[in-house]
Amino acid sequence: MALKQAKIKAAAIEKEAEIKFQNQRIQLKEEEIELKKKYANETYKITKEFEEKSLLLDKKELELNQKLQNLDEERRVFEIDKNSLLISQQRIEDIKLKYKEKQDELIEILSNYSSLSIDEAKSMLLVHLEDNLKIEKANLIRRYEQETKEDAKRKANYIIALATSRYAGEYSAEKLINVVNLPDDEMKGRIIGKDGRNIKALEMITGVDVLIDDTPNTIILSSFNLYRRAIALNTINLLIEDGRIHPARIEEIYKKCENEMEQNILDEGENVVLDLGLGYMHTELKKLIGKMKYRASFGQNSLSHSIEVAHLSGLIAGELDGDEVLARRAGLLHDIGKALTHELGGNHVAIGYDLARKYKEHPVVINAILAHHGNEEVKSIESAAVCAADAISGARPGARKEVLENFLKRSQNLEKIALNRLGVKQAYAINAGREIRVIVKSDQVDDKEAIIMARDIAKDIEVNLQYPGEVKVNVIREIRAVEIAR
């Protein structure tokens, strides 16, 4: 019984093994068919690609053979043309030689022909010699043109060199401080005042830093704004002379100096116009010329630069037979727009152009204002002289200080950010741009709003300006009660 079951089981195992073997054979057969199919496809693709590349190579070979044939044809044509040219040149030389021989024979005949007068013989000789002279004449013209260009270049360089040697404008970069000498150290204490009251009022009213150190009999005024610093200097000098130093007196003297500055500016402009011999000029233009004394561009004082350009322009125009006076006038006014860029903003060329037209300046002056920065083409000797003088004055070593100019612009932008706020009365950038002092109107801004304003101004500075270190925003709100006892 067990043997029979074992046989049955063995037969089942054998049957199962045979089925698996048959399945394996079928699977192998299918894989073999699939591989043959892939092989056939790859063979077809490679064969097709080979045929396409063979056709492409045959086509390129055909094109190359065609190009070689064309090149051979071009070379053959070139050789024919070259031979023809050589033959033509030889013929020309032969014709020239024969012409020369005939001309010599004719000259000899004319010379021996006694029936002609001397003038007639000369006339005939000149007519026949004209052809020979044409080539020499052309060579002479070319030579003289080249010599003229070289002479003109040497002359231009000489004129510029002569102008710069005859006028060497003194220049020193505008500093950021003024030193005030005091009669004694007691005056220093009076300027400081009780609990620093006087010095705080002085800084608030004038908008400049008053620096006091251990240096005897000396205080220092510091500000990037030349105009503001000049008024503060005059204010302190008058306070020292007067001897009465307190906040109310400081404000009174400051107002007086501020009004006097307008007259000083006009006097300065009139003196410059008189020294340059420019004749009549509108009063407003004279004021703006005086105002340029308190403006700087890239660290170069605008008025000093304009006077320098005026002198150089006159010298250059004089050497070129131009109008020296008109050139000096155009040189002085070429940057007149810089006197108003702080108030109006925008491009100084456009502002200067509008001013010159408004006050009916000469067209040459207007052209010089536009041309010195390439806004218009030069139309006269005088305008060209101004452009050259402006480049000489601005480009010479030491004339301009870009670092100082960047500092001045950053300080001005600090003040603009604060002044754009509603209720701000005054704003001063102090401590070399590390602090901005904002004075608000007490009737429009209360204490809480002052705190918010300080935070908002600080945020605006962080977003809009680039600066080293930190900038302290100091908002000041003051209530002053004044009563008069009668």
Could you give the angle at the alpha carbon of 217 between the alpha carbons of 211 and 220, nearest 5°? 25
E strand residue ranges, 325-463? 424-430, 435-440
The answer on pLDDT for 170 being more than 50 is no
The alpha-helical segments, DSSP class H, found in 193-301 are: 197-206, 226-242, 247-276, 283-291
Q: Write out pLDDT tens, residues 394-428.
A: 655 455 554 456 667 778 888 888 888 888 988 88
The answer on pLDDT for 130 being more than 70 is no
- The reported pLDDT for the residue numbered 173 is 38
- pTM value is 0.47
For residue 14, which amino acid is it? E
- The reported pLDDT for the residue numbered 172 is 39
**Helix, strand or coil, per DSSP, at residue 390:** helix
Lowest mean pLDDT: which of 51-55, 200-204, 210-214? 210-214
Percent of the chain residues topping a pLDDT of 90 = 1
- The reported pLDDT for the residue numbered 171 is 40
- The reported pLDDT for the residue numbered 352 is 87
Average pLDDT, the chain: 79
Tokens of 195: 């609990």
- The reported pLDDT for the residue numbered 402 is 47
Pairing state between β 218-222 and 209-211: antiparallel
Q: What is the rounded CA–CA span in Å between residue 453 and residue 448?
A: 9
Which long-range contacts does 263-270 make (Cβ < 8 Å, 24+ apart)?
A: 264/290, 265/290, 265/291, 265/293, 266/290, 268/293, 268/303
Spatial neighbors of 408 by CB under 8 A, at least 6 apart, are 224, 296
Q: What is the rounded CA–CA span in Å between residue 81 and residue 77?
A: 6
- The reported pLDDT for the residue numbered 278 is 83
Tokens of 326: 């008109």
Residue pair 260/247 in contact by the 8 Å Cβ criterion:
no
Pairing state between β 296-297 and 218-222: unpaired
- The reported pLDDT for the residue numbered 273 is 86
Q: 472 versus 410: which is more confidently predicted?
A: 472
Q: Write out pLDDT tens, residues 453-466.
A: 888 898 888 888 87
- The reported pLDDT for the residue numbered 118 is 54
- The reported pLDDT for the residue numbered 133 is 60
The alpha-helical segments, DSSP class H, found in 294-371 are: 302-319, 324-333, 341-344, 348-358, 363-371
What mean pLDDT do residues 208-234 have? 80
Tokens of 357: 């037209």
pLDDT band at 446 (very low <50, low <70, confident <90, very high): confident
Percent of the chain residues topping a pLDDT of 70 = 82
Residue pair 323/422 in contact by the 8 Å Cβ criterion:
no
Task: State which H helix or E strand residue 146 sits in.
Answer: helix 118-166
Q: What is the rounded CA–CA span in Å between residue 441 and residue 456?
A: 17
